[in-house]
Structures are given as structure tokens and as C-alpha cells.
Amino acid sequence: MTVTESRHSHARVDIILIAMVFAMSLFGIVAVCVATYSPDSTSDTSFLNHIVESSSAMKQCFFLLLAPLVVGVIMAFPYDQLRQRAELIYWTSFLLLVVVTVFNRAKGVKAWLDVIWGYTIQPSEFAKLSMILILAKNFAKQDRPMGDMRSFVRIFLLVILPGAVILMEGETGSLLVIIFLFAVMMYFANVSLKILGVLGAVGILGILALFGIMVWTGSSDYRLARIFGFLNPEMYASSDAYQQTMSKMVIGSGGLTGNGMFVDGAMSQLNYVPADWTDFVYATIGETWGFVGCVLVLAGYLAILLRMLYLAWFTRDKFGRLIIVGVMGMLLFHVMENIAMTLGLMPITGIPLPFLSYGGSNMVTNMGGVGLVLNVTRNRSISITANTPQTFYNPYRIHRHFRTRPY
């Protein structure tokens, strides 16, 4: 290992990542507050009063106050126990998914479980973190994971089991996140490109087959309606494509620098876009801060993702490196899909925007992911076990021969 690699690879708590994540979360409270600004409020009210008057903004403040506790507990969790308890965490998460599927009597999406005082939890969010841990453990066991039938079937079943339950709940968005982070982790784990290609082809054919069956049987499933609304927004502008159509209009109304915060008669104030404080908070950002605000948000996400990539680059332990890559993949898909659906570039999937959208389960999951990353970085001095190959996979090369660099 070179002197430069040694300097960047030493164990530490990454203050830069913490600062960026919490700065984004604080801005999220502002965005939620603006999105829930009531027409009954007066525009000359102080900013603090605006937050107090917004129940969603107050709850988001509470979620953010819990964030340091979540990050701290996960960061302080013994590193070797993350590896040893990965199966326990995975099966506990899977049990929660089964419980919410069985006991939630709601029609349509059955993703939430009532807890107390009107608060709910969304087990599919926590399943993402458990999936990252179990995949990182299994991928770290071999230099070429999924290279034999036993390894292939085991890892494939680990993804399929919770994926099937999540699909039964109607939570397509969370399922897509898991599939995406699975693909990202497979690539960085040095899985053969042939296997990646085969799984990708099977996945695409499966989605097309499912879509064809739903169309042929005349299904009235809301997910099919969203796809039709995306493909032909003009025809469904007043129904299934309404939310997306209005989102594009609201973002466009912000122009270059936006219309400002707490403006009477603003589209966000008049609820032109349903759920503009949750999944469609980016529309509120576009109207309020314009193109400049939208670009700055994207720059903030890019900085967070690049920071995680940098931390993974200098992590020698394959298990820890794959944890960071998994969290990075999870956040990346959330950002891409959420912003794309608000701009009309992807169908609506109900995926929130990390650190900005209102929601406790999503905030806890994202902060939990950050806690996992920090746990890895503060324990990078731990000796690499015999089961962890001392190889490094170059994220800037596509061809498999450039994905490995021995120390």
C-alpha cells in the first residue's frame, strides 16, 4: 500500500459526510414547511412560526432530532457483529414484512404498520438496509461470488424472498430500489459480467411479460394505470397522469430563480400537486427556488454520493466496501427515480427523495445507511479476515479486468 493510500485509509469518523447529510436534511425541513404553507397563514409570519404551524414540518423536525441517535447507535455497533448478525437482521426484517402483509387490512398498498399516536413504520424501508448487510456478507466470502450454482441460488433467493413479499404489498418502488442496489453490489463484488448480463436480460423479459399479461387480462392495477399515464400523459392528464402533469407545470413556473418562499397564491400553497411535501417535494423546490435551486439540490446529492465512493475507494475490507457501495446504490436510485418522475421522465413509483421528503421510516433508513457507512470508516483499521480477499474493485472501469487492483 502506498503512503497516500495509507493516509486516506486510516480509521476515522467522516465529518464531511455527516455535515453534508445533515445540511441536506435541514433544507428538507424548509422544503416541507414551504410545501405545507397554509393559505390561512400570513406571509409576514416569522420562519419559526411557519414551522410551528406546519404539523408535517414539526414531525420532520422530530425525525431529524432522532437522526443523530440512529447514526450514533449504528456507528457504534461492533463492526464484527455486523457481519455475524447479518442473517438475524435480515430475517427480522423479513418477518416484519410478513407481519405488515398479513395484518394490514388496507386496500391497495399495504406497506405501513401502525405503531403509536398515529405514527406508522414502513418495513420495506428497513428491508433495504438488511439486504445490503446480507449481500455484503455473502459477496465478501468469495473473490468471484455467484460463480457456482450453490452460491448463485443462495444469493438469488436472499433477494427474491423479501422482494416477493414487498411486491405483494404493492410497494413497487422499494422492490426497484432493492433490485438496483443488488445490481450495483454485484458489479462491485466482481460478479462475472456474463451473470450480470443474464440476470439483466431475465429481469427485463420478466417485466415485459408481466406488463403484457396485465394488459391482456385487462387489469385495473394502479401500477399499470401509472405506466399508461406516463406513456400518454395527454390522454390521462386529468386522472392517472394528473400528479405528474401538474408537477412539471409547477417546476416550470419557478423559472430561473424561483418565486420565493411562503408566497400567497403559489401553486404549492394551493395544493396543485398532491403529496408535494412527500414524494413530489422536488416540485416545491422547483417552484420556490427555480432552476438554480434544483441544480444546487442535485449538486448536493452528487457531493454525498461522490464522498461515499471516495470512502469505498480507500476501504480495504471487501465486506465494508460493499456496505458503502450498497448504501450509495440505494440513495442513487432514490434520487434518480424521484427526480425523474417529478419531471415526467419516469413513471410514478412512490419513491421519496432522500433527506428531503417528509417521512419517518425513510429518514431513519437513510440515516441508518449513513450510520453503516460511518461504522465502516471508523473501523477500517480492523484486520482483514481470511475470508475477505485483499482486492480492490475500480469503480471507474467497466471491463472486468479493470475491476481488481491488489494492494
Q: Which long-range contacts (CB under 8 A, 24 or more apart) does 311-315 make?
A: 311/14, 311/17, 311/373, 311/376, 311/377, 312/188, 312/395, 313/8, 313/392, 313/395, 314/5, 314/8, 314/9, 314/380, 315/9, 315/376, 315/377, 315/380
C-alpha cell at 116: 403509536
Tens of pLDDT, residues 73-101: 999 998 888 999 999 999 999 998 888 87
* Residue 163 predicted with pLDDT over 70: yes
DSSP 205: H
* Higher pLDDT, residue 384 or 326: 326
Banded pLDDT at 386 (limits 50, 70, 90): very low
**What's the pLDDT at 260?**
86
What's the mean pLDDT when you consider all of the chain?
A: 82
* Residue 389 predicted with pLDDT over 70: no
The model's pTM is 0.86
Quick one: which of 300, 306, 367, 323 has its CA closest to 20? 300
* Residue 326 predicted with pLDDT over 90: yes
**What's the pLDDT at 393?**
44
Distance in angstroms (rounded) separating the CA atoms of residues 358 and 299: 20
DSSP 119: E
* Residue 407 predicted with pLDDT over 60: no
